[in-house]
Structure 1
Amino acid sequence: MRRRLRPVLGAAMAALAVIACTTPATPASAADAPYDVLVFSKTAGFRHDAIPVGIQTIRDLGAANNFTVTATEDAAAFTTSNLNQYESVVFLNTTGDVLNASQQTAFESYIGSGRGYVGVHAAADTEYDWPFYGNLVGAWFSSHPAIQQANMKVEDRGHAATGHLPQTWTRTDEWYNYRTNPRSTAHVLATLDESSYSGGGMGADHPLSWCKSYSGGRSFYTGAGHTQASYAESGFRNHLLGGIRYASGRSKADCRPETGYTPLYNGSTTGWSQAGPGNFTNSDATLTSVGGMGLFWYNAKQFTNYSLKLDWKMAGDDNSGIFIGFPPSSDPQSAINNGYEVQIDATDAVDRTTGSVYTYKAADTAARDAALNAPGEWNTYELLVEGERLQVLLNGVKINDFTNTDPVRSLAGHIGIQNHGTGDDVAFRNIRIKELGTTPTPTGTIQAETFSSANGVSAFTKDGANGGQTLGYIEPGDWAAYNGVNLTGVTSFTARVVSGGAGGTIQVRTGSATGPVLGSVAVPNTGSWTTYANVTTALSNVPSGTQNLYLTFTGSGTGLFDLDDFTLVKGGGGTGVGPIKGLAGKCLDVRSGGTADGTQIQLYTCNGGTAQSWTVSGSTLKALGKCLDVSGGGTANGTKIQLWTCNGSGAQNWAAASDGTLRNPSSGKCLDVSGNNSADSTIVHLWTCLNAANQKWTLP
């Protein structure tokens, strides 16, 4: 057995208690373990008259749900030692600049230690010049119309903050428009229907509440909570309570960004059939099992490579499962005999409990227990099927990795949910699927844990990782393969790594784990298992076309490093002259056509001027006779991008990646339009590569 190099999280926390107040919260099965919350309501701008009633509401929620509340408007509370008392910090209708530099640093460290943030309403109208905070809250405030009634569409009713809500939540509040849409970096829980009120400014996709993992911690934000009356509403109080429980680590959720899924069930059972005895009731867009043993299966289509997500809840010690990979049949035994079941059961043999592939492979029980919500609360499964490989994620955490080797069976086929028998009561919501295609070809930045095959290594769920996981358990002689990678024009390799161990070396090969070495790069001890760094190496003799790429790992000892992702960078080589176009079709522009060293580079409407005429020559980008430059050769997010006298340094080295990003190999980061804002004169700066629209550029 391979030695685990880093401990997994502790056992799952129990669910919340009943709120004993005039507007009770939805009851759950058990009280949370006690915890402490700091409520911060300092204002340096507009002050909401709802702040006092908001503080009292959180105190009441805490008294009924086993957490203590400390309320303050003194920013001096933001020290490392003081913050460490609390599982989460609530920014309650804060406005303006409320923390100084040292207080900001303490809060960044606090979030980095795995703690939580809750932003309420005007928390988005706070700290506009602090990039960390902007990323943590998810989006900054832009404007709002008058207070009025509106409809909110609750997209995710599997989260503690929204599980109690109807699909359409109608209420009165002050409805914010935001400067950017947070959907690409956060998991959206609820959106505003702009047709239901006047003054919306974001169009058909107007998020109002979301959650996310960021910098090792958890973040929940709700745009509701302007009015005093909000805090007397049962729905809003439970919404706020659920957000606090999530941020405090008492309720688990899959808060990864989610796009591209098609609903199979969200209230309508079109395309579904019952096989065998029993049935499912269908109420409030929720399927609940009755009797059995039967199977409710989706007969409209079979699936091959896909991500299937669904929310489920047990009432107690119950039994059900999700079946995949079975042929069409009106006999539920066909799914048992021909497919595979991902189990839902609180207590059974280790290979037959929640997260196991029933009788074939047990879940990682430590990871499962840390990710599992107790009976009475919703959980989210993702079943990721790629060929004959099945990965099971529970609330965003990988808990099983199974490969079918039975030539008679396959993971391709129909999907269904089981009604196990009388007394086994399991409910399901929001069953949705994203088809991945038959031969996915990774290009640009590749998540290291998405290997096609491997030896020794496996995916490891880790805070701070892009995509939520790293390639972990790396030891000397291990390798990972990535099939179907387009290597045409690739000249360098950049990897995001993390190591609290010995470090080692990554070798880039093609064809096999013993194929020719195209390049190798040393991975140092980065300082800790939560401190990420970028390493880069040039590649040579790279074959063109689609290849099977192998990463092999060398070093001494065990526990070398984790690999988060890697980027195959295309070299320039040629020369082009003209505009560089980015977000919203606008151009990379030298502000005011200035030629002095340090002139800011910005986004601006294309006008054909000399300030927008760039000469691309190899790895340099020139305008007005000077070079595109990273100020001071910096590597921090938000580092200024400027015009500077050409000097051949790494700060002026740029590479066009195959995913459309422009990368500075010295830092491993990307040319980014600040705040995803396409307005004229928006600055560009250096930022962690996200493969987002505000990092895509078209060169001449």
Structure 2
Amino acid sequence: MTIRSWLAAATVGLVAAGALSAAPASAADAPYKVLVFSKTAGFRHSSIPNGIAAIQTLGAANNFTVTATEDAGAFTAANLAQYQTVVFMSTTGDVLDDTQQAAFEAYIRGGGGYVGVHAAADTEYSWPFYGTLVGAWFASHPAIQQATVNVEDRTHPATAHLGATWVRTDEWYNYQTNPRSSAHVLASLNESSYSGGTMNGDHPITWCKTIDSGRSFYTGFGHTEESYTDPNFTNLLLGAIRYTAKRVNADCAPPAPSNNSVYQGEAYASTGGVQVAGHTAAVGGQTAGYIDPNDWIGFNNVNLSAVKGVTTRIASAGAGGTIEFRAGSATGTLLGSVAVPNTGSWETFRDVFTPLASSTSTSLYLVFRGTGGSLFDVDQFTLARNATTKQGEAWSSMSGLQVAAHGPAVGGQTAGFIDNNDWAAYSGVTLSSVAGVRVRWSSAGPGGTVEFRAGSSTGALLGTLAVANTGSWDTFREASIPLATNAATTVCLVFHGGSGSLFDIDEFTLIG
């Protein structure tokens, strides 16, 4: 053996000895097998041998055997079946082909385990299932430095030995998305304790989750060689392996979606290009600002399952533009969009409203479109989850209207033959929490405006909608506006315009 080889073997042996002295005994576990996979197609961490040796020593003390490989050929259904969990030890890049990916996905969904260590988040960017499995992909990192870790769950077997905080030195990954809405966060970074965090104060660093019958665990720790002689870290790895191998149970369910309705623009969980801006007239004195075309902000743990609409408070001394509301990501399903006008100044705020489609996603992204720079600022948005639809012809009382037949209308009829100053009232509605209204109309006439008033045709004005000529009496269009709240339980639609039949109202939906 050369001197260099002897020194390398001695170093690994010292790492193993340190890990062994730190590991709690789990000899009562039924024997099982662990596969450690460390193939790299990108940056290769010098700590990989230390990590493998530490897990081998943990296995010797805790009743599991370890197979270490960099051969992706190990990812077959028959071979994976013998292992209770698979550790991705700082893998990087594209390490599995399509067939191997399919075998691994089937293994996980069928009850297998996965532990991702550090650069496992820098792996398989083009494989959507892996993104779900690891929880979040790597984005960037600052220099290695000391930081304070907040231990959020001290009951999980991987973190039960830790205190409420843990000061350690490592390479601190920033992630492309925040995994909090889809995983159970065990530990997070205090971004004020170090330099270079980019996750706006909510920075998960270790988490777990379930996928069908399988279990997943990821930790961003483990860049440094010294990590693998740290008893706190090796105990965390042991707990992760035991959990994913189903030798111990833990609650790894993601948080229940929040039923919060109001979200401050500057309180985003992730962003592309947006910065916090100070505004005296904003709620809380801040907004999501400096918005340029195609910038975005994301919010996690949002209950979109019953959402009906959204009111957004905005200001603009710029070009204005459009807000797209998307589910899951900045390129996810479009739930709705709303035009944002120039409001006259950056301190002049106005509400804009749009209906939204519901979604099973728990992440909501606001994507900003327009031309030029500094389009507008977002102060806050309010989600509405209730909706009441009234057919135009189903009034409680009216003045001047008649029922009109239209084949394309909902139910085949509308409130029609509308002239200037006619009105229709609808009782039994709730205006105390209303956010906005969506109206469906048609017009081969001059069009005009619909005033929404509380209680009567001369009651408090809640909002006004401009309705245009749609091309024919059987061509229907929809538009939405925000409405003010009111204690009345009757809403009155008052119609204004030029002479003759202005437009027909098919239906309207009060949202909120």
TM-score for both structures, normalised by structure 2: 0.51
Matched, 1:22 2:6: no
Within-5 A mapping of 1:79-90? 79-90=76-87
Contact persistence 2:23–2:231 (CA under 8 A): no
Matched, 1:193 2:190: yes
Q: CA 1:55–1:157 in 2, change beyond 3 Å: closer, same or farther? A: same
With a CA cutoff of 8 Å and minimum separation of 6, indicate the structure with the bigger relative contact order.
2
Kindly provide the CA deviation profile for residues 301-344 of structure 1, in whole angstroms up to 9, marking residues without a partner as x.
xxxxxxxxxxxxxxxxxxxxxxxxxxxxxxxxxxxxxxxxxxxx
Structure 1: stretches of 5+ with no match in the other structure? 1-18, 262-442, 447-485, 489-577, 590-599, 609-655, 664-668, 682-692
Take 2:304 and 2:257, find their aligned partners in 1: how far apart are those partners?
20
Q: CA 1:661–1:130 in 2, change beyond 3 Å: closer, same or farther? A: farther
Q: 2:57 aligns with which of 55, 60, 70?
A: 60
Matched, 1:141 2:138: yes
Paired position in structure 2 for 1:229:
226
Paired position in structure 2 for 1:613:
none
Q: CA 1:256–1:202 in 2, change beyond 3 Å: closer, same or farther? A: same
Q: CA 1:74–1:146 in 2, change beyond 3 Å: closer, same or farther? A: same
Q: CA 1:445–1:121 in 2, change beyond 3 Å: closer, same or farther? A: same
Paired position in structure 2 for 1:47:
44
Q: CA 1:587–1:144 in 2, change beyond 3 Å: closer, same or farther? A: closer
Larger Rg belongs to: 2
Contact persistence 2:330–2:367 (CA under 8 A): no
Contact persistence 1:159–1:253 (CA under 8 A): yes
Take 1:213 and 1:670, find their aligned partners in 2: how far apart are those partners?
16
Q: Aligned residues, how many?
A: 293
Contact persistence 1:154–1:166 (CA under 8 A): yes
Within-5 A mapping of 1:114-125? 114-125=111-122
Kindly provide the CA deviation profile for residues 249-303 of structure 1, in whole angstroms up to 9, marking residues without a partner as x.
0110000113699xxxxxxxxxxxxxxxxxxxxxxxxxxxxxxxxxxxxxxxxxx
Contact persistence 2:150–2:189 (CA under 8 A): yes
Kindly provide the CA deviation profile for residues 355-398 of structure 1, in whole angstroms up to 9, marking residues without a partner as x.
xxxxxxxxxxxxxxxxxxxxxxxxxxxxxxxxxxxxxxxxxxxx
Paired position in structure 2 for 1:581:
324
Per the TM alignment, residue 25 of structure 1 is displaced from its structure 2 partner at its CA by 3.5
Q: Provide the secondary structure at the position in 2 that maps to 1:200.
A: coil
Q: Provide the secondary structure at the position in 2 that maps to 1:229.
A: helix
Take 2:104 and 2:340, find their aligned partners in 1: how far apart are those partners?
43
Q: Report the identity percentage.
A: 59
Kindly provide the CA deviation profile for residues 400-421 of structure 1, in whole angstroms up to 9, marking residues without a partner as x.
xxxxxxxxxxxxxxxxxxxxxx
Take 1:96 and 1:106, find their aligned partners in 2: how far apart are those partners?
18
Contact persistence 2:189–2:205 (CA under 8 A): yes
Paired position in structure 2 for 1:159:
156
Paired position in structure 2 for 1:32:
29
Q: 2:94 aligns with which of 90, 93, 97?
A: 97
Per the TM alignment, residue 246 of structure 1 is displaced from its structure 2 partner at its CA by 0.5
Per the TM alignment, residue 31 of structure 1 is displaced from its structure 2 partner at its CA by 2.0
Contact persistence 1:37–1:68 (CA under 8 A): yes
Moved over 6 A (4+): 586-589, 600-608, 669-673
Q: 2:244 aligns with which of 247, 269, 272?
A: 247
Take 1:194 and 1:180, find their aligned partners in 2: how far apart are those partners?
16
Q: Provide the secondary structure at the position in 2 that maps to 1:55.
A: helix
Q: CA 1:228–1:77 in 2, change beyond 3 Å: closer, same or farther? A: same
Q: CA 1:45–1:151 in 2, change beyond 3 Å: closer, same or farther? A: same
Q: 2:216 aligns with which of 215, 219, 227?
A: 219
Contact persistence 1:604–1:679 (CA under 8 A): no
Within-5 A mapping of 1:607-646? none
Q: CA 1:671–1:234 in 2, change beyond 3 Å: closer, same or farther? A: closer
Within-5 A mapping of 1:443-592? 445=305, 581-583=324-326
Alignment RMSD? 4.1
Q: CA 1:679–1:216 in 2, change beyond 3 Å: closer, same or farther? A: farther
Contact persistence 2:322–2:368 (CA under 8 A): no
Q: CA 1:680–1:227 in 2, change beyond 3 Å: closer, same or farther? A: farther
Within-5 A mapping of 1:333-372? none
Paired position in structure 2 for 1:469:
none
Paired position in structure 1 for 2:169:
172
